[in-house]
Chains A and B, each alone.
Chain A
């Protein structure tokens, strides 16, 4: 089946996640081979995801871990196991 660009865009997310059925995936791949616009959209979306997953994009506040474990240590010092304190 010949797909139109608009149709391909609807499936970009599922194409990236590889959750489309084989036939549809094949149709989209055939379209991508000849369509510069759709391949550029696919590439740019993938790049957004690569950048999102990069640890430097979302950094934790400085000292977050120390403060978290500090507060936790105080909680753990209180008597009894979680079970007993119920």
Chain B
């Protein structure tokens, strides 16, 4: 997640000093992250691409407000989150409620799906396109507040602390939301995986 913060610090100083072209190099390692962040909010490829471009340009325009004590990755991602939210508010108009002001409800079923007929998913099952498709769909259908935490933590690899800071929520809330998101996805994917699991044990093990 942090390629080299000293090197980044140097790059940033040189860009602010006038070597503007270096900004391409500075953001390149984070392109994917910026896209996924806005995608987690907007859930639409075209909107996400547009928002990602806007976020990167905003980051360039405000680079002088970056402070060395924070990480460039979280600073840039926070800009992306704000850009995504701004667009969502615009799209939803007055009906928009800040998702992070909602209290964590105590109810709801966040227990995993019990299963016993398979243990490890063999590599060749993970290779299957249908499984990726099912996972993408399940993630898209998570409630917004769970999806955003899940993507920052488990897809982009941010720490619990950084995720809390970027979303403006507590560490405890990040943990609760992440747990629920993971359990919901496990539950959604288990039936799918079961249909692909071998009838007899050892089938995959004996494959060439």
**A and B associate:** yes
Residues in A lying within 8 Å of B, measured CB to CB:
5-6, 9-10, 12-14, 16-17, 19, 36-37, 39-41, 43-45, 47-54, 56-58, 60-61, 64-65, 67-69, 71-73, 75-76, 81-83, 85-86
B interface residue count range (under 10 / 10 to 19 / 20 to 34 / 35 or more): 35 or more
Q: Which residue of A lies closest to B63 (CB)?
A: A82
A-side interface mostly: helix
Closest 10 CB pairs of A and B: A13-B179, A47-B121, A41-B112, A76-B20, A45-B186, A37-B114, A57-B132, A83-B64, A40-B115, A71-B53
Q: Which among A10, A17, A44 is the interface contact of B193 at CB below 8 angstroms? A: A44
Interface: B182 (CB within 8 A): yes
Cα distance A75–B21 when bound, in Å? 10
Contact with A along B166-186 (1 / 0, CB 8 A): 000000000100110011011
Cα distance A61–B52 when bound, in Å? 12
25 of the cross-chain contacts (CB-CB < 8 Å) are A9-B112, A9-B183, A39-B119, A40-B114, A43-B121, A44-B112, A44-B121, A45-B182, A47-B121, A47-B193, A48-B182, A48-B186, A49-B154, A52-B139, A52-B154, A52-B185, A57-B132, A60-B31, A64-B31, A68-B52, A71-B53, A72-B23, A75-B61, A76-B24, A83-B16
